Every structure is written in C-alpha cells, then in structure tokens.
Amino acid sequence: MRLHVANHPLVTHKLTVLRDKNTQSPTFRLLVDELVTLLAYEATREVHTEPVEIETPVTTTTGAKLADPRPLVVPILRAGLGMLEGMTRLLPTAEVGFLGMQRDEETLEAITYANRLPEDLSGRQCFLLDPMLATGGTLVAAIDYLLARGARDVTAVCLLAAPEGLKVVEDHVGDRADVSVVVAAVDERLNEKAYIVPGLGDAGDRLYGIV
C-alpha cells in the first residue's frame, strides 16, 4: 500500500476550516468539494492514458486522452457522496458506482446495506471516496468488494486518516493488489470511541446534519 499526504498550503487552510466546530454545513460542504478536487489532482497522477493525434490551429501533434476502460469512482455512502462532485470535476468521463456502508458503533465492524457496482472491474482503475479512514474497517470492506469483482488498481481518497486505520488497510491488502491512499493529513490517533483525534467530528453529520 502506498500513502500520499497532500502537503500544500491550500489543503492545510481548507482542512483547518473544516476542523473548526463552528463551521456550518453549507460552508463545510463547499470546502469538502474544493478540498477533494485538490486531492483528486494527486490521486490521478497515474491515471491510464493513451496517445491521440489532434490538429492544433498551427499543426498536427500527439497528445493524450484517458484510456478505456474508463475509471470508476465509488463514493461510500453517505459521507462519501459529499466528495463525489469534487472528484468528478477532475474526472468528468469516469463512471460512478456506489457502496452503502456504515459502522456498527458497538462492534466497529462495517455493515454493507447497498451495492451498485459493475460485476466485472477487470482492468478498471477504481477510486474510493470516504472522508474518514478511522479504524480501517469500512475501507477494507470496500476494497474487498472491488477486488472480488476483478479490480487490481484501487486508490482511496480520504480527508483524514488515523495511523491505526492505515495499518489495518496495509496489513489486510498485503500484495493482493495495487492500493494507494491519498489524504489531506494523517492525524494523531483514535480515541476510545474510534473517532480520529484531533479530527473534524462525524463527517456525514457535518455535511448533511444529524439524521
């Protein structure tokens, strides 16, 4: 597993405002969208391309276009949905799948309640969207869903990660696939309730309110 922490002043600034408990949902949603676009730039550095010949107003030249099959972007519901627009802004031709997952607050295990993915992901680059990589359970379960359908190139885009969660993902994936994690920051630790510290609270609640 490869880890990339986006070290950029704009990333730090936006993340700081997200962390502030006084930041209201409308501003929070806007900043998540902007921050994910910055993270998407880093996450797509190795996106597959193929050469294409075009004509400029001056001459003919060879450029590059995204290769087939198209990348697949998979937000993990519900909080990952708030990251979708920021990601597809940079990858507008990508297809979108969905995974509905939530953490059992007693066992901390990930429970899957919805699945909308292609049956065959062979040869597809997949981008998982989940704001918080805390215990790692949800991300591990999501990666397993993709690998079971033939994916071997998976990049997770998260706002924050805890060291404990990163280790769980790394230990679980091993050498089964090419997995990368792109984050805005790696925080200190998990607390006794498995929340990231200092973190930013429950990303889903802060995006959409408490349901």
| H/E segment holding residue 18 | helix 9-19
Q: Is 135 annotated as a binding residue?
A: yes
Q: Is 80 annotated as a binding residue?
A: no
SS3 for 207? helix
Cis peptide leading into residue 206 (ω within 30°): no
SS3 for 117? coil
What domains does the chain contain, in order, with CATH numbers? 2-47+67-208 (3.40.50.2020)
Q: Is 155 annotated as a binding residue?
A: no
Give the global pTM: 0.90
* Percent of the chain whose predicted confidence (pLDDT) is above 90: 75
Q: Is 137 annotated as a binding residue?
A: yes
The residue assigned the tokens 């940079």 is: 90
pLDDT at 78: 83
pLDDT digits (tens, 9 = 90+) for 151-177: 999 999 999 999 999 999 999 988 777
From the list 33, 144, 178, 205, the catalytic residue is: 205
Beta bridge partners of 9: none
From the list 56, 60, 107, 175, the catalytic residue is: 107
Catalytic status, residue 61: no
Residue pair 188/198 in contact (Cβ under 8 Å)? The answer is: yes
CA dist 3 and 24 (Å) reads 30
pLDDT at 107: 65
From the list 103, 112, 149, 152, the catalytic residue is: 103
pLDDT at 103: 66
pLDDT at 211: 57
Write down the number of H helices and E strands in the chain: 6, 13
CA dist 211 and 201 (Å) reads 15
Q: Does residue 31 have a pLDDT over 90?
A: yes
CA dist 157 and 152 (Å) reads 16
Q: Does residue 131 have a pLDDT over 90?
A: yes
pLDDT digits (tens, 9 = 90+) for 32-74: 999 999 999 999 999 999 999 999 999 999 999 999 999 999 9
Residue pair 165/133 in contact (Cβ under 8 Å)? The answer is: yes
Q: Is 187 annotated as a binding residue?
A: no
CA dist 208 and 26 (Å) reads 9
| H/E segment holding residue 84 | helix 84-90
Residue pair 99/117 in contact (Cβ under 8 Å)? The answer is: yes
Catalytic status, residue 103: yes
Q: What is the DSSP string of 158-174?
A: EEEE-HHHHHHHHHHHT
Closest CA to 5 of 38, 34, 33, 27: 38
Catalytic status, residue 205: yes
Q: Is 70 annotated as a binding residue?
A: no
Across 109-113, average pLDDT: 72
Catalytic status, residue 2: no
Q: Does residue 188 have a pLDDT over 90?
A: yes
